[in-house]
Amino acid sequence: MTIPALTGPSLKKFRCSLLTWFVEHKRDLPWRKTKDPYRIWLSEIMLQQTRVAAVIPYYENFLARFPDIQSLARSRAEAVLSHWAGLGYYSRARNLHRAANEIVAGHGGNFPNEHEAALALPGIGRYTAAAVLSIAYDKPLAVLDGNVARVLARLGALRGDLRAPSTWQNLETTAQDLLAQKSPGDWNQAMMELGATVCTPKSPKCGECPVAPWCRARKLGIAEQLPEARKKRATVQVTIAAAVLIDPKGRTLLVRHRDNEGALFSHMWQFPAVESTDEKQSLLAKHLQDKLGVKIKPGQMTPLKSARHAVTFRDIRLLPFLIRVERLPTIDGAQTPALLNFGRLAISNATRKIARVAIAHVRVLE
């Protein structure tokens, strides 16, 4: 991929124009006030698949509880997950915690400043390694994420699927060629900021763009058409039947599924649940009997209002059932919190949605 006239003095002017714009227009974000690699790393992980506005309160709460890598490594995974609860994509939190332990064990508690060492940590790919090392340590590594790829595709009027491996590799080379070597951290942030605020997916603001003179898509009048739409992975419909057991004291039962047990939210506390293909209660009743030893009598399961939950390509229909029991079963490692207050237990948004439906139902009956 080539961007017209981006060599020699023109490239210098291009870099200068974008960096000046960044200094004047960058958003005031908490992770931009620091060069601490831990804080930058945390922000980059939280920002994956999550909007800036949603991340800010989580970022601040997380740092109040885990102010440095050592405190994160010392904590139990459960505590880390409970501070992540609601942010979604929980493998990010588990990897963050594992990586903190590896950093303490193998790097003296300091985020490694070598590319290969950073890439070897759990949950750190090329993008995150380049972002942390360039911003915290001024390493000349260009980032390539969706925002940067869109800007580059428009600058070079590149057609086709940007995520196709050869195209992505091509974009990585272009991003690295454009990188301002003396200020790689600012440069990377400027490219991402341009994509997030000016060169947006829909209606790019070309009139306000600091690199408009170099943009081939703008000249051709095709900025809005690029990047071309990717072939979407087909949505998979999933139905989950969940049991909200409740005892006379208002306590319920939360369990944790292990990996590969068919659960969608492994490691998080959740209502006993089973994937189902229809609305029949028999699968859930069988699951409760086989796994928890709870025998359900006819008519004991009250169907509650269903809820929807989306996770990547899965469209999940949640079917909760309220089941009143004299006594909750005694299960090793399970939790029996009050349905009205789960405290700081690490629960997923799907579990929260089911709890809300059940609480609303119980309150109507009170």
For residue 185, give the nearest of 323, 37, 9, 302 by alpha carbon.
37
Which one of 217-225, 264-272, 299-307, 332-340 is the stretch in contact with ligand SF4 (CB under 6 A)?
Answer: 217-225
Helix (H, G, I), strand (E, B) or coil at 363: helix
Cα gap 289→291, rounded to integer Å: 6
Write out the two tokens for 233.
């992975």
Least Å from the CB of residue 6 to ligand SF4: 12
Which one of 54-62, 202-210, 311-319, 325-333 is the stretch in contact with ligand SF4 (CB under 6 A)?
Answer: 202-210
Burial of 345 (0-12, 13-18, 19+ CB in 10 A): middle
- 100 near ligand SF4 (CB under 6 A): no
206 versus 238: smaller Cβ distance to ligand SF4: 206
- 273 near ligand SF4 (CB under 6 A): no
Give catalytic status of residue 78 as yes or no.
Answer: no
194 versus 322: smaller Cβ distance to ligand SF4: 194
Burial of 272 (0-12, 13-18, 19+ CB in 10 A): buried
Write out the two tokens for 119.
């890439």
- 151 near ligand SF4 (CB under 6 A): yes
Q: Which of 55, 149, 212, 358 binds ligand SF4 (CB under 6 A)?
A: 212
Cα gap 354→356, rounded to integer Å: 5
Cα gap 84→78, rounded to integer Å: 10
Cα gap 252→246, rounded to integer Å: 5
Which one of 81-89, 90-98, 130-138, 203-211 is the stretch in contact with ligand SF4 (CB under 6 A)?
Answer: 203-211
- The C-alpha angle 258, 260, 265, rounded to 5 degrees, equals 60
**How many residues sit in the footprint of ligand SF4 (CB under 6 A)?**
15
- 155 near ligand SF4 (CB under 6 A): yes
Catalytic residue among 44, 60, 172, 326: 44
Which one of 207-215, 233-241, 273-281, 337-345 is the stretch in contact with ligand SF4 (CB under 6 A)?
Answer: 207-215
72 versus 144: smaller Cβ distance to ligand SF4: 144
Least Å from the CB of residue 225 to ligand SF4: 10
Cα gap 175→191, rounded to integer Å: 9
Q: Which of 18, 45, 55, 198 binds ligand SF4 (CB under 6 A)?
A: 198
Q: Which of 80, 211, 285, 322 binds ligand SF4 (CB under 6 A)?
A: 211
- 15 near ligand SF4 (CB under 6 A): no
Q: Where are the alpha helices (DSSP H) in 138-250?
A: 146-155, 165-178, 184-197, 216-220
* Residues tagged active-site: 44
Give me the residues that bind ligand SF4 (CB under 6 A), please. Answer: 151, 154-155, 198-199, 204-206, 209, 211-212, 215, 217-218, 223
